[in-house]
Amino acid sequence: MFNTDIGIDLGTASVLVFIKGKGVVLKEPSVVAVDRDTEKIKAVGEEARLMIGRTPENIVAVRPLKQGVISDYSITEQMIRYFIQKAIGKRSFKKPRICVCVPSGATEVEIKAVQDAAFQAGAREVFIVEEPVAAAIGAGIDISKPCGNMIVDIGGGTTDVAVISLGGTVVSTSIKVAGDDFDDAIVRYMRKKHNLLIGDRTAEEIKIGIGTCFNKSDNKKMEVRGRNLVTGLPKTVTVTSTETEEALRETTGQIVEAVISVLERTPPELSADILDRGIMLTGGGSMLRGMEELIEEKTGINTMTADDPMKVVAIGTGEYVEFMGERKGI
């Protein structure tokens, strides 16, 4: 058997590739460095991410996916091809079946672009799965049962909130507020409060290091370096986790609002299931400290984060191929 089933979590911030039988074999940032003069790709993934904000004029580091959808088609296609080859190697006997996930609010045009890019990158068959459904499968939830499960998938570019039952989405919403917006909020806060200009990568380091969205007793500190907007010279400032809570309040509030709006539209039988089973958080953004507590406080529903939330969607995307295969076989 040389059939390869591949699941790709094509995210705004990172791409994960799952191969059946091997698990997640590749996790790299969705960044591509392009030479403007020759239009050639210089680097992909982690290598390209390190170039962000540090490139000469002729080289530009781009993120071909914006808010969960393709913004630069040709670069995305080359990026998918590169990651597939890196994951399965050149010596594949048969073209793989590829399953790619899209945000729950993706339009037909956006879905078609993802399908085309996967076919161009060498797929034999392409399945498209909505992110919350993939997240539920990856988190180990049996989605084929007539029982309501609520998934909140906080990625890099989009947050998908959905209630899933019988293998499909009952109520869902997708908002373009997620991990990247946390970074932007920190950049804005540092500028306003400390007169300090910092880059996106530094903002991400603050978020991962001390970021929180729920006031806790332990107040962590971190030294941040950037450019002083008054003097124009480099400067170091000490930032606390309480300040990050203040910086992220509005952005995390929008995610909570999305969760509440989905709960308000959920059929009563499924609402009872959710109260019973709780809310499941997945995606890289769910790793922000205090996210569970914040949603739990605002909704009154037990909230938990999936194990290894970053990989959940990729695992679910890979397993969805089997799920579809079983359905077709019925």
- H or E segment and range at residue 72: none
255 φ, ψ to 5°? -70, -45
Q: Per-residue pLDDT tens, the chain, 330 aa: give them.
A: 346 788 999 888 889 998 888 888 899 999 899 988 888 888 898 888 888 778 888 888 888 888 777 888 888 888 888 888 888 776 666 788 889 988 887 888 888 888 988 888 888 889 999 889 999 999 998 888 899 999 999 988 889 999 999 988 999 999 999 999 999 999 999 999 999 999 888 999 999 999 999 887 778 899 999 999 999 999 999 999 999 999 999 999 999 999 999 999 999 999 999 999 999 999 999 999 999 999 999 999 999 999 989 989 999 998 887 777 666 554
**Helices assigned H by DSSP within the chain:** 46-49, 73-88, 108-120, 131-138, 179-194, 200-210, 241-264, 268-277, 291-299, 309-329
What dotted CATH number matches 179-247? Answer: 3.90.640.10
First-last CA distance in the chain: 22
Tokens for 74, please give them: 């040709």
User: What whole-number distance in Å separates Cα of residue 207 and Cα of residue 182?
Assistant: 7
What dotted CATH number matches 142-177+251-306? Answer: 3.30.420.40
Written out in words, the top-level CATH class of the domain with range 5-134+312-329 is: alpha beta
CB distance 314 to 137 below 8 Å? no
Q: According to CATH, where is 3.90.640.10 located in the chain?
A: 179-247
Reported pTM: 0.87
Q: According to CATH, where is 3.30.420.40 located in the chain?
A: 5-134+312-329, 142-177+251-306
317 φ, ψ to 5°? -65, -40
- H or E segment and range at residue 228: strand 221-228
List the one residue out of 312, 264, 330 whose CA is nearest residue 141.
Answer: 312
